[in-house]
Amino acid sequence: MYTQKYRTYCIQRLSTFNRSDRGAVAIIVALMVIPLLLATGVAMDYVRAYNVQLTLRADLDISLISAIKKINNLDDKAIKTLVINWFKQNNKWELYSLTEDAITVTKTDYEISASASATVPTSFMILAHIDEITVGATSSVRGPSTSYLNVYLVLDKSASMMLAATPEDQNIMRDNFGCVFACHDVDSHISPEPLYPQARALNVRLRADILQDSANAVLTEIENADPTRERIKVGLYRLARNVTKAVDPTFDIGSARAALTSPNSGLDQDSSTDGTFFQQSMKDLAALVGQQGDGRTAASPLKLVLMVTDGVTSQRNKVVRTGSVCSTGYFLGVAYPETTCQVRPSTYSVGPLNPAWCNVVKNQGVTFGILYTKYLPVPEDWGWMDTLGWPMSKMDWYAAGGSLERGYSSSILRFDYIPVALQACTSNTDLFLSANSVNEITNGLRLLFKHYISEVRITR
């Protein structure tokens, strides 16, 4: 009897348990918690590895940029050493658990590429017996220091470059001839036979002499940047009423140096011209330089123009108290009909270049840098006062639609606006230098070239 009742009770309880689902969710959660935790941990491990990969790539970029500025003509092994040293010096070597075999460097057509791999320890994936994740990064950089490059040195040979170079030299010229420029004679101020010999006899150095030093200094810098003479060419050009070629772009630095002192080139110290017409000369320069390439081959070089100038567009025999430019039939280097000339007094055409004239060169992709040899203010001279001593509102190019740079009033003196206009002419403000002293002029072109050559771009 008891046995039968107990059996019946057990059957009833088992039947009730079979129909109940109140514990099913708990069982499922218990069964799923381990894979869910593992999946979350795996995701966290991979996110951490991805972040390490991003920082490794950024550090590789920086290490290559640091290396490329020093390489000159180093081989792959030497560049790799520079990259490794960067990681070690910046405490990144152990951070990524790097080995020398994990870094490779190649140099093709002056583009430097590098790759690096690192291991990232896991936290959760270790449960699946995965102790670490390997990540890799690649980077490629190219810059003027690793590209084929043509450098165009454009040297101002206007008569104003015959200014005595130092205050001491200017005092000698003033005391002996009443003028600080060697381009004027004693009586008429406009001499077909300027005072070069007299200045030389007094051991006076002119800015034309310092210009020679500046050009030679940048030629030396180019030699240092490309000692095998297979990547950087240099050409020399005379800036006057037009831009004319003295030396085609060449690897032969010796021939460029020789041209600087050759009377046949028009670049020697005693050569000058009575006018500078930037409106025309920039068109000439654009035609001579041409379109910039990508720098990957000698046939498609990057192009850098470095111009030394005082930035004044003028013609010396226009600087008269009265009259017009009709004596020459030109205004800013462009021929005009007689009736047009008569309403354009000469004092309206002497002043800063219009920065818009430089666009014809820059629009070809060419990089444009300028060394401004500061024009000397001569307030005691009527010629200066009637031209550069006048405000910009009196300039012909301004009245014809030229616009001043933002923030400048048309009442600003032309003399004061010269560096503003020249800086606006350059490709960027870092490629403009204003120089007045002998040392500043001598080193100016070299410093502009060094700044340009240090620029780098990441190509990957």
Residue 412, domain CATH = 3.40.50.410
Give, in degrees to the nearest 5, the angle at Cα 331 between 329 and 336.
55
Q: What are phi and psi of 213, to 5 degrees?
A: -60, -40
Residue 322's pLDDT is 35
Residue 3's pLDDT is 52
Same domain, 111 and 211: no
Residue 362's pLDDT is 97
Residue 15 lies in a domain: no
Same domain, 259 and 131: no
Task: Pick 190 or 144 by higher pLDDT.
Answer: 144
Task: Pick 99 or 246 by higher pLDDT.
Answer: 246
Residue 201 lies in a domain: no
Residue 24's pLDDT is 57
Q: What is the pLDDT of residues 130-162, one digit of tens each?
A: 888 888 888 877 766 678 999 999 999 887 788
- Write the DSSP symbol of residue 459: -
What is the length of the chain?
A: 460
Residue 25's pLDDT is 58
Dihedral angle sign, alpha carbons of residues 327, 331, 335, 337: negative
Residue type for position 248: D
283-297 mean pLDDT:
93
Q: Which residues contact 419 (CB under 8 A, 6 or more apart)?
A: 311, 372, 374, 432, 434
- Give 34-60 as a DSSP string: HHHHHHHHHHHHHHHHHHHHHHHHHHH
Same domain, 262 and 373: yes
59-73, 115-129, 323-337, 347-361: which is most confident: 347-361
Same domain, 228 and 361: yes
Residue 330's pLDDT is 40
* CA proximity to 368, closest of 434, 320, 302, 417: 302
Same domain, 90 and 237: no
Q: What are phi and psi of 433, to 5 degrees?
A: -130, 135
Local structure of 438: helix, strand or coil: helix
**Token pair for residue 309?**
């100038």
The total of structural domains in the chain comes to: 2
pLDDT(454) > 60: yes
Q: What is the pLDDT of residues 395-413, one digit of tens each?
A: 878 766 778 998 999 999 9
Reported as type and span, the H/E element at residue 246 is: strand 243-250
Same domain, 122 and 261: no
Same domain, 114 and 221: no
> How much of the chain exceeds pLDDT 90, in percent?
31
Reported as type and span, the H/E element at residue 211 is: helix 207-225
- Write the DSSP symbol of residue 364: T
pLDDT(169) > 70: yes
Given 85, 107, 141, the domain boundary residue is 141
Q: Note whether 429 and 367 are within 8 A (CB).
A: no
> How much of the chain exceeds pLDDT 70, in percent?
75
Residue 379 lies in a domain: yes
Residue 188 lies in a domain: no
C-alpha to C-alpha distance for 87 and 95, rounded to whole angstroms: 9
Residue 154 lies in a domain: yes
Domain with 110, as residue range(s), is 23-141
262: left (phi over 0), alpha (psi -120 to 50) or beta: beta
Same domain, 248 and 137: no
**Token pair for residue 320?**
């008269």
Residue 189 lies in a domain: no
Same domain, 299 and 381: yes
Same domain, 397 and 259: yes
Task: Pick 144 or 326 by higher pLDDT.
Answer: 144
Least confident interval from 13-17, 83-87, 90-94: 13-17
Q: What's the mean per-residue pLDDT of the chain?
A: 79
Residue 74's pLDDT is 66
C-alpha to C-alpha distance for 460 and 455, rounded to whole angstroms: 16
